[in-house]
Structure 1
Amino acid sequence: MNGKDGGELGNLILVTGAAGQIAYSLLFSIAKGDVFGKDQPVILLLLDITPMLPVLDGVVMELQDCALPLLRDIVPTDKEEVAFKDLDAAILVGSMPRKEGMERKDLLKANVAIFKSQGAALEKYAKKTVKVLVVGNPANTNCLIAAKSAPSIPKENFSCLTRLDHNRARSQVAMRCGVPATHVKNVIIWGNHSSTQYPDVHHCLVNMSGSELACFEAVKDDAWLKGDFIATVQQRGAAVIKARKLSSAMSAAKAICDHMRDIWSGTPEGEFISMGVYSSANSYGVPEDLIYSFPVQIKDKNWKIVEGLAINDFSQMKMDATAAELMEERDTAVAFLGV
């Protein structure tokens, strides 16, 4: 059941947590062709837990009612053996949300069990070429556990979402400079998708009146860039929840689309984006066997870390702190699961 990449019917795309908020904003963009190509048919596999199947039926009806030319089929299910079969891409959104009074380690324990099971399902049912994006939090560690649970799928095929943080950083700089977000490029999110992440603009360029300026030169406020800017990006998710009483859904869905589109279509020449990927070559001193957000460039569906960027002491300290948190999360998760 594959399109140009291997068959006639379309790319098989799985979205988990498909009855949830993020998926509701995401599925239309995928089905419309904004992610995998304007001429690439898609088949959507929508997985959620059994109690959510009636809600999922409503989502299916709405997708049908959009009358989208590229959407070849929709398969709602609560069964992993149906959802994970022969996939071209898996977008793993569904996870247990953090409830009031819940410790981060309690959330980690509940969610790594889900991602161990889904990793095993990928191993058993999906194509070995499947591209897997983990969104459910704690995303970096969930992604690592899913990858470890699917040993025959290359670890390079797994990534986690830090594009939302990347987009937030880009937008904050753009607003500060009074330019569109498209005029800001090469911000970097280092590390964990948590409050220890490090939004780094030391290599960022801002197009102002036709000239590309270094971010610090364009913003002209070093104290803001090293203080409130970083805190704003780190705490933005919590700020949205406080204001909206719900988590970021529209912006998360947009970031998922950006992330997957770049995997499928590549990154523009001279630009890099941020994604959580497997650390194996000790890039920038990051310990091995983590899913850590790096600056990457993508071509032919393969990412590579942008190497050789100068890192000052301020940046190194923040990059090390987020790596330390990831190592602690990884060790806790491995102890829970024995993977």
Structure 2
Amino acid sequence: MEDCVYTTITGAAGNAAYSFIPLLAQANPFEKPMYLSLLGSKGTVEKLEAIKMEIEDCCFNSIRGVYVTDDPDKAFGNSHWIIMMASIAKPKTVLERSYLLKQNVLIFREHAISLNKYARQDAKIIVVSNPTNTLAMVCRKFAPNIKTENITCMNRIEHNRAVGKILRAFPNAHLDLNKLTLWGNHSESVGTDVSRIELPSLYDINTFKKDLIEFVRFRGQNVLRARGEPSCLSAAKAVLDQIQTLLRPSKYGEWTTLGVESKGYYSFPKNLFCSLPVQVKENSQFEIIKDLTIPKELEGLFQTSIQELINERHLVEEVLNNSE
């Protein structure tokens, strides 16, 4: 039998998935044929069938088959990778995170319960929906059969935004960005740390660093205001990059940024997911880089991230208690 990778995409009828699927199929980061399982919300099967037709018409060499369903209990069996993009209808304007969380936590509880019953215990899960860090916590809570180390959340988009800004600022420089670090929550409290990167001399490098921090913090909201929709293409590319990062062990002395369970490091309470520096190991496992010093200019944002995630955890508990 052909050695294939089974990949489930939730929220598959949405714009983010529509942007992600062709990137995944074209890049084929697994370097093996793929079967896709597309999970949508109730009433989206016809739309999913249309997406399946388009995938077939693209003639991707990597895709061996596509299965569509609106039943979570039928979506996760055999999947090696699960990309969780399910969300309420995307807002046209900036919404409070609390509103988004209240709606999405119930979706994620349902999906995580199905994951726990039917998914492979070694499945790799990437949570994309927002608030991504706290929804990863919900997934972990209701899918205890999945190893915590196999659940990551999509803080990669901030990492990519920082990389893009740096490369545009220094287009002719040969830069080693393998120690770029993003700290905290996927929110306006995220902190971009270039303290271990050797940047070319500028007339005012400190001003550039401050501008970079502010750029990454507000980039998502600026896209939403300008486009009337949340980031989709850049989010899709970030998911692909996160898969590729997890598939390639880090070189000695290098690290990257992932949204992972904190395990209590860097003052983050246990069981919270946050953006931290990690070294990727074999089989898509990783180790948190310990004992780094957080730059003073990021300490305020760092503490804000911690409090945000604690508050979101309390809100999750409230929503779950009220839904019983």
1:146 aligns with 2:139: yes
1:224 to 208, 216, 233: 208
The answer to whether the 8 Å contact 1:9/1:43 transfers is: no
- The change in CA–CA distance for 1:143 and 1:196 in structure 2 (over 3 A counts) is same
| CA distance in structure 2 between the aligned counterparts of 1:166 and 1:68, rounded to whole angstroms | 29
| CA distance in structure 2 between the aligned counterparts of 1:143 and 1:24, rounded to whole angstroms | 22
Deviations 1:233-254 (A, max 9, x none): 1111111122222221111111
Secondary structure class of the residue paired with 1:22: helix
- 1:50-61 map, 5 Å: 50-61=42-53
Deviations 1:56-89 (A, max 9, x none): 2221111111212221110011011111112211
The answer to whether the 8 Å contact 2:8/2:83 transfers is: yes
The answer to whether the 8 Å contact 1:165/1:189 transfers is: yes
1:90 to 71, 82, 86: 82
The answer to whether the 8 Å contact 2:94/2:221 transfers is: no
State the one-letter code of the partner of 1:274.
Answer: T
Q: Which residue number corresponds to residue 268 of structure 2? A: 286
Displacement of 1:274 after TM fit? 1.3
- The change in CA–CA distance for 1:182 and 1:251 in structure 2 (over 3 A counts) is farther
| CA distance in structure 2 between the aligned counterparts of 1:71 and 1:182, rounded to whole angstroms | 36
Displacement of 1:101 after TM fit? 7.9
1:22 aligns with 2:6: no
| CA distance in structure 2 between the aligned counterparts of 1:182 and 1:313, rounded to whole angstroms | 24
Secondary structure class of the residue paired with 1:159: strand
| CA distance in structure 2 between the aligned counterparts of 1:277 and 1:115, rounded to whole angstroms | 17
Q: CA RMSD in A?
A: 2.1
Q: TM-score, normalised by structure 2?
A: 0.92
| CA distance in structure 1 between the aligned counterparts of 2:174 and 2:277, rounded to whole angstroms | 18
The answer to whether the 8 Å contact 2:279/2:286 transfers is: yes
Q: Which runs of 5+ in 1 are unaligned?
A: 1-6, 205-213
Q: Which residue number corresponds to residue 314 of structure 2? A: 331
1:242 aligns with 2:221: no
Q: Which runs of 5+ in 2 are unaligned?
A: none
Secondary structure class of the residue paired with 1:51: coil
- The change in CA–CA distance for 1:290 and 1:200 in structure 2 (over 3 A counts) is same
Q: TM-score, normalised by structure 1?
A: 0.88
| CA distance in structure 2 between the aligned counterparts of 1:83 and 1:239, rounded to whole angstroms | 35
1:72 aligns with 2:64: yes
The answer to whether the 8 Å contact 1:190/1:198 transfers is: yes
1:265 to 235, 242, 248: 248
The answer to whether the 8 Å contact 1:174/1:181 transfers is: no
The answer to whether the 8 Å contact 1:169/1:233 transfers is: yes
- The change in CA–CA distance for 1:51 and 1:182 in structure 2 (over 3 A counts) is farther
In the alignment of these two chains, the number of paired residues is 320
Displacement of 1:290 after TM fit? 0.4
